A = this chain, B = another copy of it.
Amino acid sequence: MYSIGDLSRRTGVKIPTIRYYEQMGLIAAPERSEGNQRRYEKSELERLAFIRHARDLGLSIDSIRDLLALSQHPERPCGEADRIATEHLATVREKIAQLKKLEQELERIVACDGNHTVGDCYVIQALADHSMCDSEH
């Protein structure tokens, strides 16, 4: 049996976050001690580690809920799990592409750095005038 603090230390998930996950239905409400404190079994530790890992990979709470539900049914085909992961990968790739565009634009803006005044500051001019941009964003 683990207290919520034990669970937190072992998984690296902060205590209020664990309670939040309980509220959100990612983990079940655990047994309580006589004094109403949460007492967890080892299986909850593993479940929380799963959640933590998935969150680190950027999966949404909703996706994680779906994956957890799937993992309760080892006999079913796992196309759904593959789909969730593949979709997420696509999202990540899109984000990277978009950020790279931003990076280029910002590089261009910052490149004209120097010792001058706001009046002829390229950063501020570029922000004021979209037509100075190379690409859409």
Interface positions of A (Cβ within 8 A of B): 46, 49-50, 53-54, 56-58, 67, 70-71, 73-78, 81-82, 84-86, 88-89, 92-93, 95-96, 99-100, 102-103, 105-107, 109-110, 113, 115-119, 121, 123-124, 127-128, 130, 137
Given A67-B124, A75-B119, A92-B102, 19 extra CB contacts under 8 A = A50-B128, A53-B128, A57-B102, A57-B105, A57-B127, A71-B128, A74-B117, A76-B117, A76-B118, A77-B115, A78-B117, A78-B118, A81-B121, A81-B124, A82-B121, A82-B123, A89-B103, A96-B96, A96-B103
- 5 closest residue pairs by CB, A with B: A74-B119, A78-B121, A89-B106, A81-B123, A78-B118
12 pairs, CB–CB < 8 Å, chain A vs chain B: A50-B128, A53-B127, A76-B118, A78-B118, A81-B121, A81-B124, A85-B109, A86-B110, A88-B106, A95-B99, A96-B100, A99-B99
- Given A82-B113, A124-B70, A130-B53, check contact A92 B106 (CB 8 Å): yes
* Bound CA span A66–B43, Å: 50
